[in-house]
Structure 1
């Protein structure tokens, strides 16, 4: 495989990993949520706690890492040694690619516990988009049966 081809494989892998991130905050909506009726409740923030949202674990990181590792391994040795290095490089690259994807897409989150005006206590975990919720603050809770978010 030529150096130019190797560089293209690496660039594609990086581009695939960069495209995996998505928003999980109170102000981020999926495209499918547009024009869908949602229930709005109001309440008071009881508590706020910082949490960690794990990163994505899709096959993209593994595949991209395996491609890069296989290409790197193919540059080592010759004959059957090169084949073994290619396979080992692909396996190690796949494991590393998966770990890199999970780490790169990990987000800071916030758990907001809200006492709704109807007395119900609700805890919502979402990406920390810098809203800075505080206990005692009035907020709105928007939900559709599948997704719940807290906003001002």
Structure 2
């Protein structure tokens, strides 16, 4: 049997795995989401009042996963073109183009809306903390907790 008829099935399966990898590796930076390693860790809590709230955009990740996935998919797609030296060139072009497109797709899939929350702490210090927007609502004048652990800060109602 010629391997070409099974190629669309392989391409679809690879694409499904790639999409899962790109979205599954994204971690939230919302104030109410903790990583597994944060569990059971002591955290410093300070209290303060929200002075300002500014909507911001949080850039998407730029890891090797998007580029590598795109390169694999592009190479597979390129292998369906022509034969001989032309096919080899198509594989290389597909891999390069797929890598560039995969990196861009990863960035687009993992970007998020966020908030820059300015808090005046009880000791008079002022902090601005950026975190991913979530169902938590904040208002100017609201009393909040600023939680710190290993250089990471979050604001919580």
1:9 aligns with 2:14: yes
Deviation at 1:147, TM superposition (A): 1.1
Following the alignment from structure 2 to structure 1, what is the Cα–Cα distance between the partners of residues 155 and 53? 12
Following the alignment from structure 2 to structure 1, what is the Cα–Cα distance between the partners of residues 18 and 32? 30
C-alpha contact 1:39 1:144 (8 A) present in aligned 2:
yes
1:147 aligns with 2:152: yes
SS of the aligned residue for 1:37 comes to coil
1:69 aligns with 2:74: yes
Deviation at 1:145, TM superposition (A): 3.8
Q: Which of 75, 81, 85 is the aligned partner of 1:80?
A: 85
Deviation at 1:135, TM superposition (A): 1.0
Any gaps of 5 or more consecutive residues in structure 1? none
SS of the aligned residue for 1:42 comes to strand
Any gaps of 5 or more consecutive residues in structure 2? none
Following the alignment from structure 1 to structure 2, what is the Cα–Cα distance between the partners of residues 26 and 6? 38
Deviation at 1:130, TM superposition (A): 3.1
1:103 aligns with 2:111: no
Q: Which of 136, 140, 151 is the aligned partner of 2:141?
A: 136
TM-score normalised to structure 1 length: 0.95
Deviation at 1:138, TM superposition (A): 0.8
1:31 aligns with 2:71: no
Following the alignment from structure 1 to structure 2, what is the Cα–Cα distance between the partners of residues 144 and 12? 34
SS of the aligned residue for 1:92 comes to helix
SS of the aligned residue for 1:47 comes to strand
Equivalent residues, number:
152
Following the alignment from structure 1 to structure 2, what is the Cα–Cα distance between the partners of residues 63 and 43? 44
Residue range with higher mean Cα deviation, 86-95 or 136-145: 136-145
SS of the aligned residue for 2:40 comes to coil
Following the alignment from structure 2 to structure 1, what is the Cα–Cα distance between the partners of residues 13 and 148? 43
Alpha-carbon RMSD? 1.2
Deviation at 1:77, TM superposition (A): 1.3
Deviation at 1:31, TM superposition (A): 1.2
Following the alignment from structure 2 to structure 1, what is the Cα–Cα distance between the partners of residues 88 and 95? 11
